[in-house]
Structure formats: structure tokens, C-alpha cells
Structure 1
């Protein structure tokens, strides 16, 4: 039969343990603490730390990529707002809204908003 062992941690220690357990993929803190306490192979702990570090680096890279993509999206939206204000006739607004509602990527949005600029960018980047 399993026995419990009362262990006390302060708030900072508990937070560090919870973070480590989450990074290691544990759903229950007690399971993580038990496994870490009973781990006899120190290299396995280092491998877990290395795996965690690699996962963190991958996540950081993905977050940076998302941040860049959001910056691009904000720029495209700013262009759209500017053009909507420039072409203030209702017919032009409706036409631009229709074009933008059908786009699936930033490149398509830019091509719909500023076709000449999109062609120049494509030509200068060497893409076909």
C-alpha cells in the first residue's frame, strides 16, 4: 500500500517545481517530485534538462516567428486602413472589402491592396 510523505515547500519552491513538472510533461506535481526523488541515474536528469532546453528553444523560435508574422499582419492592416480612408467612396470601399475578404495570405492581401508594389516586391525578391 502506498504511503504519503509530507513535504513542505515555500511558495517560490512550489512555483519552481510546478514549472519544472509542466516542462517535463507531468500532469501531477506529486508524480514529478516522486520520480525526481527516486531517479538514480544522474545522466537521465541531465538528458531531461537538455530535452527541456531544446523544447524551450523550439518554443522561443516559434514565438519569434509568430511575432514577426503578427508584425507583418499589422502592417498589412495599416495599409488597408489607409487605403480605405483614401478611397472613401462607398463603391471603392465595398470593392476593397470584397477583395480583402477573399485573401488567404499576406502576399495576397498586399497584391489586392497595392498590386504594383506587390509585383515590384516579387520581382526584386526573385520569386516567380
Structure 2
């Protein structure tokens, strides 16, 4: 049996929009009742500028509240702009902790001599319509 839980952090600056999805998966072995955690995150960056980014590289650094981070670079102009040289260690368990109220992440992006920094957070609480009696 597998159980998945995902949290999506989102944010937007003047030139960039970012989402970071952290997924937690419990693998339950019914025979031995062993829980194995697989923790990880997936970053998606979207450039909002009018001129397309067809060349150069984009450097990024994503930090959590404990100053742990993931950083790397994206080489533009390739068929698949992939993240290169990703390093760091995010505190995924703290991000997935439902009792932790301060989950905001900070992303710093640098490209073509420009830079931007903004916060990624969880969506605001979902409100349900009032029930009519």
C-alpha cells in the first residue's frame, strides 16, 4: 500500500513565477509493518518577461526557514532546459510537518545580469460556502 501527500508552494515576482512541490510517500509493508519515507521536491520556474530567454543561464537558490537550500543552474537554449549542478539539502520533513505554521520558502533567481528574490508559500486556506439551514 502506498500513501502520497503533496504540498505545493507558489510565488511570483516581477519577472518570474515559481512553484515547488514537495511529495511525501509512505510505503507500507503489511507483513512487517515497516514505513519507508521518500522525501523530495520538484521546482518549476516560469519566466514572465516579454522577451523570451533563448540563451545564457539562470541560477537559482531555494531556501527554507532553517537556511537549508537547494541551488543550481538552468542552461537556456537547449532542447530541454534542465537543472544542472543541483546541490543542497532542503528540510523536507519540516516542510511536510502540518504543525509547523511557518513554511515559507525564499527563492533567489539570477539571469543575464538581472536578479530577483521572492517568497513561495502555501495557498491561503480554502473557504467553504456557508451552509443554509
Please say whether Structure 1 and Structure 2 have the same fold, judged by a TM-score greater than 0.5.
no
Q: Which has the higher helix share?
A: 1
TM-score by length of 1: 0.23
TM-score, with structure 2 as normaliser: 0.22
Higher strand share: 2
**Highest CA radius of gyration, 1 or 2?**
1
